[in-house]
Each structure stands twice: as structure tokens, then as C-alpha cells.
Amino acid sequence: MTRRFHALAARLDGLAMLALAGFLLWLAAAGNYWMFLNPKFAPLTLGAATVLAILGAFAAIRPVSRPSLGRAACYLCLLAMIVLTQGGVQALSGTIDSDPFSVAPTLPAPEPAGPVPSRLVALGREYIPINTGELYDIAAKGHAEAFDKPYAMRGTVHRDAALDAKGEFVLYRLAVWCCYADGTAVGFRVRLPQGATPPEDKSWVVAYGRLADAPQDERNEYTLPGQAFSSIAQAALFATDHLESAPVPPEQVYMYQWKTSEPYAF
């Protein structure tokens, strides 16, 4: 029995590396990878998992002569952390009555959003519904035909004295690519029609208009106050024809997807 335990302990390094490689492969291919890292790093994680699997297989075939209890304890701690992140905390919260996270919801679930029409109508004209992230990508490409199309986008209003003086405000939405901690405010400086009253700061509006080139001397980076990360288009503005105030839909404040062609995510 002691000899068998010693043989298993001698191969623990290799088995642990193989298990970790398997977890990384699963996480990048089918797990909740976006909760930990940006999905664009998935190929790097898959490559690391492959190297780890090769080294683990070699270590399992060629065991160490003197097993280390310290490394074994580290492997157990790592295993415990993986279990906790993959549902262990939620499972414990649901079984402990005194746990503050084990609370039944008191608010009704939000009604599912209805389908977005292919065109929104304002002032008797049709506009293409699109979200700020999708329009940001279009503006970055600088295609002339895209600047001629009418768009409708929605988001949160940000105003300051400098923007007010130019008859502009910033319209943005928070984009979530990998996790909420890395949420990025993506949007545009919006130019108001001549004589129009700007919307309230922090209000939610739908803006109807077209892309326009920003003046060369105004193509500076705009940092949105209160946001850890922001990407406000520098080379393009959004020239509005019409603004509509709307209630803030909590489940639609964030953007989770971007499409490159119609129908856009809006």
C-alpha cells in the first residue's frame, strides 16, 4: 500500500498538470472563459494548455524520485479554487439559510424585449437601428457610403460645459466583451440640430441622424468622466435630425454583441 501511494505521489506533478491542461482546454472551448479573460486570448490559452499537457504526460511517465508534500498541498488549493469558481460558491449559498446571498428575488423578472423592427421612423423618415459599438466600427472604417446612411442609436447622455458651448453631447453605452470589470463606454459626440435644446445629463435617449466627419482640430481623445475605460469616436460625429427621450431599460444598458451587417443588435 505504501509503495502504491509513493508511486501515485511521484506522478502527482504530471497528473496535476494534465488535469489543469484539461480544465484550460474546457474553459477556452466550452466554459465561461469570458468571465475571466477576454475571448481574444483563447488561442493563447489553448496553446498553453497544449504545452502543459505535453509536459504533464512526460512528468507522469517519468515520475520524480522524491515527491513533495508542499506541491501536493498547492495542487489541492488550486483544485479547491477551481471548484469554487465553477459553481461551488453558488451551490453553498443555496444550501445555507443564513447566507446573505441566499435570498429569494423580490422583483418580477423583466419582460423579454420585443423584436427590433428593421427600420425606425422619425420625422417621416426611416432610420437603421444600430448600437453605438456597431456604429463605432463602421465609423472607424471611414467608408463614404456608410456616412450617407441614416441611423438610429440609443444610449446614455453625458454633458459638460465645453460640449454645451459647441452644441454637442456624448451618447454612449457600456460594452461588455469579457467581464463587467472591463466594461467600456463606447459612443460618439452628438451634434444637435441648430437651436435644439440638449437632453438632460445622464438621461437615456434615442438619436436619429447620420455620421459626419469631425473637424481636424477637434479629433482629440475624449475621456468620459467616471468610466474606467471609454472609447469615444475621434474622427466622426453623429449629426442628429431628431432626439427621443425613452425610459432606461436596465437589461439593455450593456452591449453584449456587435454585428457587422443588418439586422444590427441595436
Q: What is the pLDDT along the chain (266 residues), one digit of tens a residue?
A: 466 655 666 677 778 888 888 888 888 877 667 667 766 778 888 899 899 889 888 877 877 667 666 777 787 787 777 777 666 555 555 555 555 555 666 767 767 767 888 999 999 999 999 999 999 989 988 777 888 899 999 999 999 999 999 999 999 999 887 677 778 899 999 999 888 889 999 999 999 999 999 988 888 888 888 887 888 998 899 999 999 998 877 778 888 888 888 899 88
pLDDT at 240: 95
| Structural domains of the chain, ranges and CATH numbers in brackets | 2-95 (no CATH), 120-255 (2.40.50.140)
DSSP for residue 118:
S
pLDDT value for 265: 87
Q: Provide the pairing of β-strand 236-245 with 184-191.
A: parallel
User: How far is CA 219 from its chain centroid?
Assistant: 26
- Residue 266 CA to residue 261 CA, distance in Å, equals 12
- Candidates 223, 231, 224; CA nearest to 202 is 224
Tell how far CA 204 is from the center of its chain: 20
- Cβ-in-10-Å burial (0-12, 13-18, 19+) of 136 comes to buried
pLDDT given at position 1: 43
For position 154, what pLDDT does the model report? 94
Kindly state the DSSP code that residue 5 receives in the 8-state scheme: H
Beta partners for 240? 209
Query: Residue 211: what pLDDT?
Result: 95
pLDDT at 241: 94
List beta partners, residue 153.
Answer: 207
| pLDDT at res. 98 | 54
